[in-house]
Amino acid sequence: MINKAHDVRVIKHINGEYNTFANFTTVQEALDYMRRLGAVNDSWYIIDANDNRLRLNDNDKLVVFNSLIGY
């Protein structure tokens, strides 16, 4: 059995802080989770295993986001 790292995080900006809501092994799993929640606004982000910050744009596509201050 292979142990996969859960290095992909779904985070949300709440009251001036970034809180992790869930951890996943792939960006696709995190994206599916966000879509099931309807988390397609400016408060939700995915941080991948390489610390790239991603969010959904208005066209429901993942884009790199470069300004999570303090995270």
Q: Which is more confident, 26 or 70?
A: 26
The pLDDT score that the predictor gives to residue 41 is 67
For residue 29, being part of any structural domain is answered with yes
Q: Which residues contact 66 (CB under 8 A, 6 or more apart)?
A: 53
Mean pLDDT in residue range 32-58: 85
For residue 67, being part of any structural domain is answered with no
For residue 64, being part of any structural domain is answered with no
Total-model pTM: 0.79
Is the model's pLDDT at 69 over the cut of 60?
no
For residue 65, being part of any structural domain is answered with no
**Tokens 């792939």 map to which residue?**
26
Mean pLDDT in residue range 42-48: 87
56 confidence band (pLDDT: 50, 70, 90): confident
For residue 19, being part of any structural domain is answered with yes
